[in-house]
Amino acid sequence: MVLVRVHRVSSIRDPETGRYGKVIELVEEKRVRAQPVRVSGMPPESMMIQGIIQDLTSYLQSFGLTAGGPLKPKMTLFLTEEEYELLGVKLDVNEVYELEFKNGTITFKKAYD
């Protein structure tokens, strides 16, 4: 199982059939680990600054702008409108899903539900 985030959904038209579809780009998402906070003996100003740094780090990670490097493409789907409907999962931009490969199937499950 791997976590993926929907990075982009674009509309396409198949040049051979003329049918409309979607290109769905999925990128690897890393779980944000909360860092332990030492409360005893820490001035309130330090706790506030540490909270701001954690929030900023989380925000930058959502854009792929931290030490982890740029976005890591995981999978790109090219689906007709009919195939997208048959998938049975509405893949929205910035939503995070658990992607599982098992016994010849690919399963999408919304993470953080």
pLDDT band at 14 (very low <50, low <70, confident <90, very high): confident
Q: Residue 26 class from Cβ within 10 Å (0-12 exposed, 13-18 middle, 19+ buried)?
A: buried
Residue 106 burial (CB count, 10 A): 11
- Name, in order, each residue with C-beta under 8 angstroms of 87's C-beta and a sequence gap of 6 or more: 79, 108
Section 74-84 average pLDDT:
92
Q: How many CA atoms lie within 13 A of 10 on its CB side?
A: 11
pLDDT band at 21 (very low <50, low <70, confident <90, very high): very high
Specify whether the CB–CB gap between 1 and 31 falls below 8 A.
no
Considering only residues 12 and 46, tell me which one the structure prediction assigns the higher pLDDT.
Answer: 12
Domain boundaries, the chain: 2-32+43-110
